[in-house]
């Protein structure tokens, strides 16, 4: 059996990460273990949680707590968008002291991953990005987000996070003459730029055709009603 590489969890669990990262990471762990235990067949609930922990090479201090909290989180956030956190990264952040910028960079990474899902690339904006970083499924007004996330709502701060993700997390991003920005972890920068520019060209052509159609309809209306003049 292949060794697992990720803990999968609802992005909603990211809420409050900058305030209490240990609690958030523990909830992610408990959710992931409980979710995996549902795929197992033999034993009662507690035995299944123990087997799930063994599968992920996790030593639980309290299996009952894991089962109780994991089950509640699973049912509370069952329909929330999901994300995967690399297990090695998880333990690095769980066991080691991290700066706030390191934590917000992880949030930025996970938010983009959750938005991308199975897509190789997509276009997003800062509002949606920051909303996901705050654990929101949908794009929210900045004033509704975690105050610890709100302070990163500036061009300087978002650019700083993007640069960190580009340099150390494998992000490719492009934003020439676009509302929002394109992101990918799988494509080369050249391919991402090609897709972005192709979509921009297609959009401009559609807009041009629509404008021509509107003007044509006006002209035809005038021709059909000459007494109204031009």
Domains, the chain, with CATH or none: 6-95 (no CATH), 99-230 (1.10.10)
What's the pLDDT band for 230 if we cut at 50, 70, 90?
A: very low
Q: How far is CA 30 from the centre of its chain?
A: 20
Q: Which residues contact 114 (CB under 8 A, 6 or more apart)?
A: 11, 81, 82, 83, 132
- The structure's pTM equals 0.83
Give tens-digit pLDDT for 99-135.
Answer: 999 999 999 999 999 999 999 999 999 999 999 999 9
For residue 228, give the DSSP letter: G
Q: Which residues contact 177 (CB under 8 A, 6 or more apart)?
A: 200
User: What is the Cα–Cα distance from 172 to 182, expressed in whole angstroms?
Assistant: 8
Give tens-digit pLDDT for 212-225.
Answer: 777 777 877 877 77
User: What is the Cα–Cα distance from 175 to 181, expressed in whole angstroms?
Assistant: 5
């Amino acid at each position: 059996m292949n060794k697992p590489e990720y803990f999968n969890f609802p992005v909603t669990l990211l809420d409050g990460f900058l305030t209490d990262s240990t609690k958030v990471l523990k909830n992610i762990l408990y959710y992931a273990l409980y979710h995996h235990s549902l795929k197992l067949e033999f034993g009662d609930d507690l035995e299944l949680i123990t087997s799930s922990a063994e599968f992920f090479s996790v030593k639980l201090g309290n299996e009952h707590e894991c089962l109780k909290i994991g089950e509640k989180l699973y049912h509370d956030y069952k329909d929330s968008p999901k994300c995967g956190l690399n297990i090695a990264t998880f333990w690095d952040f769980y066991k080691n002291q991290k700066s706030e910028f390191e934590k917000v960079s992880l949030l930025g990474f996970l938010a983009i991953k959750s938005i991308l899902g199975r897509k190789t690339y997509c276009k997003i904006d800062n509002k949606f990005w920051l909303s996901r970083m705050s654990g929101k499924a949908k794009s929210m007004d900045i004033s509704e987000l975690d105050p610890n996330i709100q302070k990163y709502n500036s061009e300087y701060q978002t650019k700083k996070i993007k640069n960190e993700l580009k340099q150390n997390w494998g992000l490719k991003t492009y934003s020439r003459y676009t509302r929002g920005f394109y992101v990918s972890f799988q494509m080369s920068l050249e391919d991402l730029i090609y897709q972005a520019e192709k979509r921009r060209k297609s959009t401009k052509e559609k807009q041009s055709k629509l404008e021509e159609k509107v003007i044509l309809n006006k002209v035809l209306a005038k021709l059909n009603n000459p007494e109204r003049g031009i």
